[in-house]
Structure 1
């Protein structure tokens, strides 16, 4: 059996790798998508939803909103991660500067 006390409040992984719809998504994959587009300053993948209904939203900071950039970003996310994601275009300086690339906002209750 267990020889020491359990750590309360600790659930899941210690890194940012997240399992979405049976596929692992790594921070390097989000960085690869952002690297393909020089007009993207920063990117954050937000995983939301309840139980088996996971949704992905790629939030990107960019000054360019026209020219089909959102569609090209969605195609790149699908190419790199094999998962579909919605794209949210944000002005520069909107995303928090906390070092997180993947935010898991799912409800586990």
Structure 2
């Protein structure tokens, strides 16, 4: 059992709130321009930062701001959005990538 330390799924805690892959899918589902997305959680202890990287075919004016509003509505947390070209996100099945270092 010692090998199972931490969570087995991709749910992560950001600023004392849980964020799930289902919530990320809900945000993406609200914006048809988004082909694929990955939520990257970074930062130092007590200073968590969420960035939703979105692969977009043809970004419309105000798309990033609309996605930011959806993130806030769905997760109740502030997050940033980075629009990236299609095919630039890894195809490894991850929806949430927690890059924080715990020491």
* Structure 1 segments unaligned to the other structure (5+ residues): none
Measured in 2, the distance between the counterparts of 1:69 and 1:84 equals: 16
Q: Does 1:67 align with 2:61?
A: yes
Dislocated runs of 4+, deviation >3 Å: none
Aligned to 1:58: 52
Cα deviation, residue 64, structure 1: 2.3
Residues 48-95 of structure 1: CA deviation (Å, up to 9, x unaligned): 001111000000000223410000000000000000111000000010
Q: Which structure's CA Rg is the greater one?
A: 1
Q: Does 1:40 align with 2:34?
A: yes
Classify the secondary structure of the residue corresponding to 2:88. Answer: coil
Measured in 1, the distance between the counterparts of 2:71 and 2:23 equals: 8
Measured in 1, the distance between the counterparts of 2:39 and 2:5 equals: 20
TM-score, scaled relative to structure 2: 0.94
* Structure 2 contact 51–79 (Cα < 8 Å) conserved: yes
Aligned residues: 103
